[in-house]
Chains A and B, each alone.
Chain A
Amino acid sequence: MKNTAKIIPCYSADTSGVCSALYELSGLTVVHDASGCNSTYSTHDEPRWYDMRSNIYISALTEIDAVMGNDEKFISDVSAAAFDRKPEFIAICGSPMPMMTGFDYDNAANEIQSRTGIATFPVYTNGTRSYIDGAADSFVNVLKLFTKPLEKVKNRVNITGLTPLDLPLGSDRLIRKWLAENDLECVCTLAMGSTLEDVKKMSSASATVVMSYSGLAAAEYLYKEYAIPYVCGVPVGDFSDILIKAVKKAAETGECIRSPFERNEDRGTVIIGESIMSLSIASAIGGADIISPLPCDEDMLGINDSTVYSEEDIEAVLGEKKPSVVVADPLYKYIIPESTRLVEIPHFAFSGRCFQKNMKDMITTGLGEYFK
Chain B
Amino acid sequence: MSNMTLDNLSKKYVLKAGFFTQLSGRAGVVSAVDQVSFQMEEGEIIGLVGESGCGKTTLGKMLLKIEDITSGSACIDGLDISSVRGRKQTVEFRKKVQMIFQDPYDSLDPKMTIREIVAEPLKALKLCRSGAELQERVSRTLSLVELTPVELYQDRYPHQLSGGQRQRVAIARALVVEPEFIIADEPVSMLDVSLRAGILNLLQRMNREKGIGVLLITHDLATARFLCNRIIVMYLGKFVEITDPTSLVEDALHPYTQLLISSAPDLFTDTSNRIKVEGEAASAVAPPKGCRFSPRCPYAKDVCREKVPELTEYEPRHFVACHKVSKDFSNLYNME
Are the chains A and B members of one assembly?
no
Q: Which residues of A contact B (CB under 8 A)?
A: none
